[in-house]
Amino acid sequence: MSFENFPKSEPPDSDYSSTERSNNRTRNFLIGGLIVALLGTWGYIIWDKSKTKEEKQQLTTQIVNSDSAKNELQRELNDAAMRLDMLKTTNSRADSLLKTKDKDVEALKARVQKILNDKNATAAQLAEARKLIGQLNNSIEVYTAEIEKLQGEKIQLTEEKRVVTAERNAIKKDFDSAATVIKEKEDVIDIGSTLHASNFAIVGLQEKGDGKEKETVKAKKVDKLRITFDLDENRITQSGPKDIFVSITAPDGTPLSDSLDSGKFVTREGIERTFTKKVQVDYKQGEKQQVNVELKPQTNFQTGNYRIEIYNNGFKIGEGIRTFKKGGLFG
């Protein structure tokens, strides 16, 4: 077994060890501080990001809530506007009433719409918009109540008008009935007042050179006709002038015209007739009186039958026939 001799190490210097230990501690403190600072920075960054995210979420939530509130308020405003339009279109009185309130109503609607159109509207502004919509709805309720009151008054007036109309119609019906009775009586009186002719005498007259007249039945010699008849008593006919129409029809069926006083008249049957002569008689109520009519036709008399008809008040009151013959041996 061999043994080697190595040099023996000397113990470290105490001052050197103390300095090294101090440097190590300082380095450790620095490293620890840096680690703490780094951790703090990371923590702050993480906290800041978390806070920013939270604020962003809160802001997003506020925006969503604001948009939702705006949409809700917009719907309420649209509903109110629709109710106003329905009031106007369904009732003329409502339209008249609302026209007097248009300025106030439009001001409310415009204020609310302005707030809702503002993208940066605050909660306070949205609360104001909600309050204004409430005022608008309250106004609509007031208008509705007033309209219902007006409608009730209208119903009452309509009923009163119906009653008055029914009363008027009843009175009118009674009046019409009375008027009908009166007219019927007037018609009876009118018809009853028509005169009646009797005792006809129809002769042909030949005028002589000395001014004398001679009756004749020879057609060639007749210069004029003289018609005589009586108007019988009538206690209904009032005294006064009465028109008498004399209508003469020749044997060939043509109406005979007087040279001075011929024309047209209408019978009660609505038939237009030609009168040969019109005579106005001053009649006295309840008395019989004779009427004489003379006429000269514009043409020569024919042989055959002449029909003479007398009319008064549209009715034929008498008639007669006069026949004229041929004259001489050869007519």
Alpha-carbon span 271 to 258, nearest angstrom: 21
- pLDDT greater than 90 at residue 290: yes
Sheet-wide strand order for 289-295? 213-216, 197-207, 224-231, 289-295
pTM for this one? 0.48
Q: Tell me: the pLDDT tens digits for 3-28?
A: 455 455 555 555 556 677 777 777 77
**Structural domains of the chain, ranges and CATH numbers in brackets:** 40-192 (no CATH), 197-324 (2.60.40)
Determine the residue type at 208. Answer: K
Determine the residue type at 147. Answer: I
pLDDT at 159: 81
Q: Tell me: the pLDDT tens digits for 305-326?
A: 999 999 999 999 999 999 999 8
Closest to 121 measured CA to CA, from 133, 129, 131: 129
The CA–CA distances, whole Å, from 137 to 133, 145, 158 equal 6, 12, 31
Residues near 69 by Cβ (< 8 Å), separated by ≥ 6?
126
**8 A C-beta contact, residue 317 and residue 194:** yes
Determine the residue type at 143. Answer: Y
- pLDDT greater than 80 at residue 247: yes
Q: Tell me: the pLDDT tens digits for 75-97?
A: 887 887 777 777 666 665 555 65
Residues near 236 by Cβ (< 8 Å), separated by ≥ 6?
189, 192, 193
